[in-house]
């Protein structure tokens, strides 16, 4: 798959997740995370991989805390956010990366509205 097609697929999946278009389709979350992992594995620099994983985690976190999204979808996003965060932690070696991770993790400490 070429770079443009990968970006289009990533954006499409992220939009479907973020908007909660298919709240009963847990497979969509797995596909999105697996696609993110595939894209990141094709990247050569750790910083690029980190950004890829953080984007995925942010989509999941933002969706989980969006009160306009169905509850079951929000909780599923919360259940899956550990995968991209763990992957980001494994390639995030700079102080900036660590601060970004701490910020996201502090958001996750807040109860869902």
**Whole-prediction pTM:** 0.93
Q: How far apart are CA 54 and CA 105, in angstroms?
A: 11
The Cα 12–Cα 53 span in angstroms is: 16
Return the percentage of the chain with pLDDT > 90, whole number. 85
Task: Give the count of beta carbons closer than 10 Å to the beta carbon of residue 96.
Answer: 11
Give the tens place of pLDDT for each residue, 51-102. 999 999 999 999 999 999 999 999 999 999 999 999 999 999 999 999 999 9
Query: Which tens digit of pLDDT belongs to each residue from 14-34?
Result: 999 999 989 999 899 999 999
Residue 52 in contact with residue 83, Cβ under 8 Å? Answer: no
pLDDT of amino acid 3: 74
């Amino acid at each position: 798959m070429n770079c443009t097609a990968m970006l289009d697929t990533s954006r499409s999946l992220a939009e479907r997740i973020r908007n909660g278009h298919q709240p009963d389709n847990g497979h969509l979350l797995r596909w999105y995370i697996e696609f993110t992992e595939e894209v990141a594995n094709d990247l050569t620099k750790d910083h690029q991989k980190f950004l890829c994983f953080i984007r995925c985690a942010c989509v999941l976190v933002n969706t989980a805390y969006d009160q306009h999204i169905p509850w079951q979808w929000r909780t599923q996003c919360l259940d899956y956010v550990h995968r991209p965060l763990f992957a980001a932690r494994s390639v995030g070696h700079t102080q900036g990366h660590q601060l970004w991770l701490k910020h996201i993790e502090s958001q996750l400490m807040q109860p869902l509205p």
